[in-house]
Protein backbone atom coordinates (compact mmCIF):
# COMPACT_ATOMS: atom_id res chain seq x y z
CA UNK A 1 0.00 0.00 0.00
CA UNK A 2 1.54 3.37 -0.99
CA UNK A 3 2.26 5.89 1.71
CA UNK A 4 0.53 9.26 1.80
CA UNK A 5 3.65 11.05 3.07
CA UNK A 6 7.44 11.13 2.79
CA UNK A 7 9.93 12.67 5.20
CA UNK A 8 13.31 13.26 3.59
CA UNK A 9 16.72 14.64 4.56
CA UNK A 10 17.75 17.50 2.28
CA UNK A 11 21.53 17.33 2.74
CA UNK A 12 23.98 20.20 2.91
CA UNK A 13 27.20 20.14 0.90
CA UNK A 14 30.73 21.09 1.86
CA UNK A 15 33.06 22.53 -0.79
CA UNK A 16 36.40 20.74 -0.59
CA UNK A 17 37.94 22.50 -3.59
CA UNK A 18 36.88 25.50 -5.66
CA UNK A 19 38.84 26.97 -8.55
CA UNK A 20 37.67 29.80 -10.80
CA UNK A 21 38.73 28.87 -14.34
CA UNK A 22 37.27 31.78 -16.29
CA UNK A 23 34.35 34.08 -16.82
CA UNK A 24 31.40 33.61 -19.16
CA UNK A 25 29.96 36.37 -21.36
CA UNK A 26 26.97 36.67 -18.99
CA UNK A 27 29.28 37.50 -16.07
CA UNK A 28 29.03 34.13 -14.34
CA UNK A 29 32.27 32.41 -13.38
CA UNK A 30 33.34 29.07 -14.77
CA UNK A 31 34.26 26.79 -11.89
CA UNK A 32 35.95 23.54 -11.05
CA UNK A 33 34.71 22.24 -7.75
CA UNK A 34 34.74 19.17 -5.56
CA UNK A 35 32.19 18.85 -2.82
CA UNK A 36 30.91 16.28 -0.37
CA UNK A 37 27.25 15.79 0.50
CA UNK A 38 26.77 15.70 4.25
CA UNK A 39 24.57 13.52 6.44
CA UNK A 40 23.13 16.73 7.91
CA UNK A 41 20.65 19.20 6.57
CA UNK A 42 17.05 20.31 6.38
CA UNK A 43 14.15 17.91 6.81
CA UNK A 44 11.29 18.14 4.34
CA UNK A 45 7.96 16.40 4.86
CA UNK A 46 5.65 15.88 1.88
CA UNK A 47 2.07 14.86 2.66
CA UNK A 48 -0.82 14.28 0.28
CA UNK A 49 -3.59 16.86 0.66
CA UNK A 50 -7.16 16.99 -0.60
CA UNK A 51 -6.63 20.63 -1.61
CA UNK A 52 -4.99 20.85 -5.06
CA UNK A 53 -1.64 22.61 -5.31
CA UNK A 54 1.60 22.78 -3.36
CA UNK A 55 1.16 24.17 0.15
CA UNK A 56 4.42 25.20 1.84
CA UNK A 57 4.89 25.64 5.57
CA UNK A 58 8.29 26.83 6.72
CA UNK A 59 9.95 29.22 9.11
CA UNK A 60 11.60 31.14 6.25
CA UNK A 61 10.76 34.77 6.73
CA UNK A 62 11.39 37.19 3.92
CA UNK A 63 11.36 34.63 1.10
CA UNK A 64 8.71 35.35 -1.52
CA UNK A 65 6.89 32.06 -2.29
CA UNK A 66 7.38 32.59 -6.03
CA UNK A 67 11.16 32.77 -5.43
CA UNK A 68 11.25 29.71 -3.16
CA UNK A 69 13.16 26.89 -4.85
CA UNK A 70 10.78 24.27 -3.41
CA UNK A 71 7.83 25.88 -5.19
CA UNK A 72 9.86 26.52 -8.34
CA UNK A 73 11.02 22.87 -8.41
CA UNK A 74 7.45 21.62 -8.00
CA UNK A 75 6.35 23.89 -10.85
CA UNK A 76 8.90 22.25 -13.19
CA UNK A 77 7.08 18.94 -12.88
CA UNK A 78 3.85 18.22 -14.74
CA UNK A 79 1.68 17.62 -11.68
CA UNK A 80 -1.86 16.30 -12.09
CA UNK A 81 -4.31 19.21 -11.75
CA UNK A 82 -6.04 17.56 -8.80
CA UNK A 83 -2.78 16.77 -6.94
CA UNK A 84 -2.39 18.37 -3.56
CA UNK A 85 0.72 18.17 -1.41
CA UNK A 86 1.60 19.91 1.84
CA UNK A 87 5.32 20.53 2.30
CA UNK A 88 6.76 21.26 5.74
CA UNK A 89 10.36 22.41 6.06
CA UNK A 90 12.52 22.12 9.17
CA UNK A 91 15.26 24.51 8.02
CA UNK A 92 18.67 24.08 9.67
CA UNK A 93 21.01 24.87 6.74
CA UNK A 94 21.80 28.62 6.95
CA UNK A 95 20.53 30.59 3.96
CA UNK A 96 23.30 32.08 1.86
CA UNK A 97 25.98 30.07 3.65
CA UNK A 98 27.29 28.29 0.56
CA UNK A 99 26.09 24.91 1.82
CA UNK A 100 23.61 24.34 -1.01
CA UNK A 101 20.43 24.39 1.06
CA UNK A 102 18.17 25.84 -1.62
CA UNK A 103 19.53 23.59 -4.35
CA UNK A 104 19.21 20.56 -2.11
CA UNK A 105 15.62 21.51 -1.18
CA UNK A 106 14.75 21.84 -4.89
CA UNK A 107 16.24 18.44 -5.75
CA UNK A 108 14.58 16.67 -2.83
CA UNK A 109 11.25 18.25 -3.79
CA UNK A 110 11.49 16.89 -7.32
CA UNK A 111 12.48 13.42 -6.11
CA UNK A 112 9.80 13.28 -3.41
CA UNK A 113 6.95 14.51 -5.62
CA UNK A 114 8.02 12.10 -8.36
CA UNK A 115 7.77 9.21 -5.90
CA UNK A 116 4.73 10.34 -3.90
CA UNK A 117 2.64 11.12 -6.99
CA UNK A 118 4.11 8.32 -9.18
CA UNK A 119 4.99 10.81 -11.93
CA UNK A 120 7.43 8.50 -13.71
CA UNK A 121 10.35 10.88 -14.29
CA UNK A 122 13.83 9.38 -14.53
CA UNK A 123 16.71 10.74 -12.45
CA UNK A 124 18.30 12.11 -15.63
CA UNK A 125 15.09 13.91 -16.61
CA UNK A 126 14.81 15.53 -13.19
CA UNK A 127 18.51 16.46 -13.17
CA UNK A 128 18.12 18.13 -16.56
CA UNK A 129 15.01 20.04 -15.43
CA UNK A 130 16.65 21.00 -12.15
CA UNK A 131 19.59 22.62 -13.94
CA UNK A 132 17.23 25.51 -14.74
CA UNK A 133 17.12 26.25 -11.00
CA UNK A 134 20.86 26.13 -10.30
CA UNK A 135 24.09 24.38 -11.20
CA UNK A 136 24.11 22.32 -7.98
CA UNK A 137 20.57 20.96 -8.33
CA UNK A 138 21.48 18.09 -10.72
CA UNK A 139 24.18 16.88 -8.31
CA UNK A 140 21.67 16.80 -5.45
CA UNK A 141 19.12 15.02 -7.68
CA UNK A 142 21.70 12.32 -8.38
CA UNK A 143 22.57 12.19 -4.67
CA UNK A 144 26.31 11.75 -5.11
CA UNK A 145 29.25 13.86 -4.10
CA UNK A 146 30.98 15.45 -7.07
Q: Which of 13, 42, 67, 82 is catalytic?
A: 13
Going from the C-alpha of 45 to that of each of 42, 85, 145, the distances in angstroms are 10, 10, 23
115 noted as active-site residue: no
Q: Which of 4, 115, 124, 136 is catalytic?
A: 136
**Residue 109 C-alpha from the chain's centroid:** 5
Q: Smallest Cα–Cα separation from 71: which of 123, 126, 133, 12?
A: 133
Active site residue 136: yes
Write out the catalytic residue numbers: 13, 136
Amino acid sequence: MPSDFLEVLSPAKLNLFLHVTGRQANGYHELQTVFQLLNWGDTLRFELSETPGIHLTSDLSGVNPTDNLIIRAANLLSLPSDAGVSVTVDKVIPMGGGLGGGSSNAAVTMLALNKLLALGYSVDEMANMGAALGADVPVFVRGQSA
